[in-house]
Amino acid sequence: MSVASKLNLYIDGSWLFKACAPERALASRLEFPDRALRLNFSNLVGLLLRHVREHGGACDTAGDAYLVTSIFRIPDDVDQWAEERDDVTTADIENVRHSVAAREAFVASALRSGFREDGVYRPHLKGWMIQRLRERRFQEKQVDTTVVALLVSAAITRPQDYHVIVTGDADVLPAIKVAYPAYSQNVFVATTHPDQLRAEARQTSFALADFEYRIPPVFLDEHVRDLVEGAHVYVCGHCGKVFARSLPIPLEAKPCCKPCHDKRT
Ligand SMILES: [Zn+2]
């Protein structure tokens, strides 16, 4: 008797959060690409389970689901930093609060869909970090290595299961290959198509193509319709962008996004 297999998920949450941000890979498929995509994590799990089955895997339930990311703990005296430090402004503090709140909402949404909280780090925000955050030079530690470590330890102990890594960083793949040589049988990647204008991204697509999988990579930007939060989600019949409405569009009407509708009237 064969044991029913599960799909375990390991998400680089810092990468996925950015992929959902305005104008980035996933939000750029939306009606209003200048707004962040609100990701429905249950739909993401469903999409990845369907992908396994479409490629011959007998698997219809999720196992362990990790969202690995970090969210700053903001100290109580943070508002005084702008007065105390030359390298911190009140606008900086405002921006940090805003981005922490956005990440909190993202993580809370994942937890409601059954993701585990123990992949979420909560480092203390320090004054010296602010300038680096403003200049986008702040390096988040641990996320990519944690995702790999969780996946490999599960793959070794549960080889009958499937394991998906959700990441934009193909650099993690050689590590998986070394630690778990049987990866091609039951490990696969979910990512987005790389931005061909960025040299580092071209390398990513090369690295992905370099690997053999029984289950091919999932490109999430091709499935935005299935990922976005909303009761009634449509693809615009004119421009192909995705949009959600609280009320259904009548069946006989061709779905039309707001920008296309405004152009045509
Ligand atoms: Zn449109």
What does the pLDDT read at residue 136? 85
- How many A from CA of 245 to the centre of ligand 1? 14
- How many A from CA of 244 to the centre of ligand 1? 12
CA distances from 222 to 17, 28, 193, 237 (A): 17, 11, 9, 16
What does the pLDDT read at residue 2? 57
The pTM for the full model equals 0.92
- How many A from CA of 15 to the centre of ligand 1? 27
What does the pLDDT read at residue 16? 96
Cβ-defined contacts of 227-230 (< 8 Å, 24+): 227/26, 227/37, 227/39, 227/40, 227/43, 227/44, 227/47, 228/30, 228/37, 228/38, 228/39, 228/40, 228/43, 229/38, 229/39, 229/40, 230/38, 230/40
Q: pLDDT tens per residue, the chain (265 residues)?
A: 456 799 999 999 999 999 999 999 999 999 999 999 999 999 999 999 999 999 998 998 999 999 999 999 999 999 999 999 999 999 999 999 999 999 999 999 999 999 999 999 999 999 999 999 998 888 887 788 899 999 999 999 999 999 999 998 877 888 899 999 999 899 999 999 876 556 666 666 656 666 778 899 999 999 999 999 999 999 999 999 999 999 999 988 899 999 999 998 7
- How many A from CA of 221 to the centre of ligand 1? 17
- How many A from CA of 234 to the centre of ligand 1? 10
- How many A from CA of 238 to the centre of ligand 1? 5
- How many A from CA of 233 to the centre of ligand 1? 13
